[in-house]
Each structure stands twice: as structure tokens, then as C-alpha cells.
């Protein structure tokens, strides 16, 4: 992941405060977004084929917090027999 991050930084595709932590098979990224909060980053999805007017990867909000994203991905309730 460090190599991907370094490539995005060199290409100037990430705004300050956005740090990818995972990618999907299509080459898009999930990232922590610290632009609005230094202690509780939101989660964004970075579209690798779309850019903003500033030249950064286009970001789509996913969740307010990492735990919210995880809770939306998995159902931790036990199944009834």
C-alpha cells in the first residue's frame, strides 16, 4: 500500500489529509479523510478514473467513521437455529 500511496503523491492526485488504506480490483481506493477532523477521519472512496477540478482523485463519502464502514459491511448478529 505504501508504494501505491507514494505513486499517488508523486502524481499529485491526493489532497492533503487523505490517506489510502485499501484498494479494490478495479484500481480505486478507500481512504481516511482527515480534512475535516484530525482525530476522527471519515472514509472516502477514491475513483481512479475521475479527477476533481483541482486534479485530485474524485472522492465519494462512504462513512463518517471507520467503525461505521465496518458495521455496514458485516452483519455481526448471530444466526438463529
Give the C-alpha separation, 41 to 33, whole Å: 5
**Surface-to-core class of residue 61, CB atoms within 10 Å of its CB (0-12 exposed, 13-18 middle, 19+ buried):** exposed
For position 71, what pLDDT does the model report? 84
User: Is residue 78 assigned to a domain?
Assistant: no
**Range 32-40 average pLDDT:** 95
Stretch 26-47: mean pLDDT, rounded?
Answer: 95
- Evaluate whether residue 8 is within a structural domain: yes
pLDDT of residue 54: 93
The model's pLDDT over 43-58, given as tens digits with 9 standing for 90+, comes to 999 999 999 999 999 9
Could you tell me if residue 62 is inside a domain? yes
Tell me which residue range forms the domain holding 41: 2-73
41 found inside a domain:
yes
For the stretch 55-80, pLDDT in tens is 999 999 999 999 888 888 866 565 56
Q: Does residue 80 lie in a domain region?
A: no
Q: Any bridge partners for residue 27, and if so which?
A: none
CB-hemisphere CA count at 13 Å for 44? 20
Q: How many domains does the chain have?
A: 1
Amino acid at each position: 500500500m505504501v508504494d501505491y500511496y507514494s505513486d499517488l503523491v508523486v502524481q499529485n492526485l491526493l489532497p492533503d489529509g487523505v490517506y489510502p488504506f485499501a484498494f479494490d480490483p478495479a484500481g480505486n481506493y478507500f481512504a481516511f479523510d482527515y480534512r475535516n477532523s484530525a482525530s476522527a477521519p471519515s472514509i472516502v472512496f477514491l475513483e481512479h478514473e475521475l479527477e476533481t477540478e483541482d486534479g485530485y482523485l474524485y472522492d465519494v463519502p462512504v462513512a463518517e467513521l471507520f467503525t461505521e464502514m465496518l458495521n455496514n459491511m458485516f452483519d455481526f448478529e448471530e444466526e438463529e437455529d
